[in-house]
Copies of this chain bind each other. A is one copy, B any other.
Amino acid sequence: MTNSYAIAVLPGDGIGPEVVGCALEVLDAAEERFGFSTDRSTFAAGANHYLETGELFDAVEAQLRDKQAILFGSMGDPRVTPGILERGFILEMRQRFQQAANVRPVRLYPGVPTPIAELTPERCEMVIVRENTEGAYVGRGSTVHAGTPNAVAMQESLNTHDGIERVVDFAFRLALGRRKKLTLCHKTNILVAAGQLWQQVVAEVGARYPEVEVDYVHVDAMCFHLPLTPERFDVVVTDNLFGDIITDLGAVIQGGLGVATSANLNLDGSAPSMFEAIHGSAPDIAGKGWANPAGAILSLALMLGHLGEGEAARAVEAATVEVLGSLPSLAGADMGASTSELGSRIAAIVREGRA
């Protein structure tokens, strides 16, 4: 009997469909080689779909909920007011599906050019785990005297013991299977209420993982350490807003948005997890074949690992890394091959067992 998985595919806008198309070709190859299958349902979602129908996450929630994983392209279009898709779809999915951990590997692959001078792959191999459902991302606040010179806006960050605990526990477990080092990133000297709760939870949970060494770095100092001494980090755990910021810096270090990938993990099995490249929809280059599909294909690798197809996950990652390392440029007209050519090249390596 072959394993079969029900997955949802959301190509989205801009370059989303192109790079997800590549990921699906690689998925075909992986199924062929490793003998599993997927039952794929594709959903229209994103800016174009919203402009046509007014539909956001609500419209697909029920159909997505019974899937085992979601493969996501990218969303966004200048015609949609900023915030609508972010809050109405992406944050809504993270919340309703309790995708508690946003997991972003920051790994410099061999042969991939990094803008950081003298950085080598051996020195850059970490995972940033971002709390994905609370903190400042609750998006709540209030304004008095709006539109007058007396206006005051209060923005809230809500942090719960359980919300922090589940993601911290996940981060400790991750560290246990790696170099056994966990770093909390926060700004505890200023954000005292939230900071104390984070520190307490890390101390509490850490007591259950005595083998894991615990470190702490302020978010501002992180901007120093991440590019200059990345070897200091194994697993970094941080809150939603700080995670949003430092993972983009992580992507810079590993060679850019084209290479970076992420998982939005539901940790209790109550709803599906979601996997996506971290780049946006890049409407300016959509349709030109200039997008690098590596981020999307690496998100497929994360998805396969999550589904339990570890061998397939490793093969997809290795094939992607091999092709990445051979490119003259990581994106754009001088990438040396088109988006779909790169997808096919990676799929061929997977299919033929060359990785």
Residues of A participating in the B interface, judged by any CB pair closer than 8 Å: 82-83, 86-87, 91, 113-118, 136-137, 139-143, 145-162, 165, 187-194, 196-197, 200, 219-221, 223-224, 227-228, 241, 244-249, 251-252, 257
Contacts and interface: CB of A to CB of B under 8 A. Distances in A.
B224 A257 contact: yes
Given A116-B115, A152-B159, A187-B241, A224 B197 contact: no
Contacts of A154: 156-159, 193-194
Contact of A161 (B148, B193, B251, B257): B148
Contacts of A141: 157, 191-194
Contact of A220 (B140, B191, B244): B244
Given A139-B192, A149-B165, A224-B251, 8 more contacts: A86-B189, A87-B190, A91-B190, A140-B193, A141-B193, A143-B196, A151-B161, A152-B159
Contacts of A162: 149
28 contacts: A82-B188, A83-B192, A86-B189, A115-B227, A116-B117, A141-B157, A141-B191, A141-B193, A141-B194, A143-B196, A143-B197, A146-B197, A148-B161, A149-B162, A149-B165, A152-B158, A152-B160, A153-B160, A153-B193, A153-B197, A154-B158, A155-B194, A187-B244, A190-B244, A221-B248, A223-B246, A223-B249, A223-B252
Contacts of A224: 248, 251-252, 257
A276 to B, nearest CB: 15
Contact of A155 (B87, B157, B219): B157
A227 B252 contact: yes
Contacts of A251: 224
A100 to B, nearest CB: 16
A152 B161 contact: yes
A257 B197 CA distance: 30
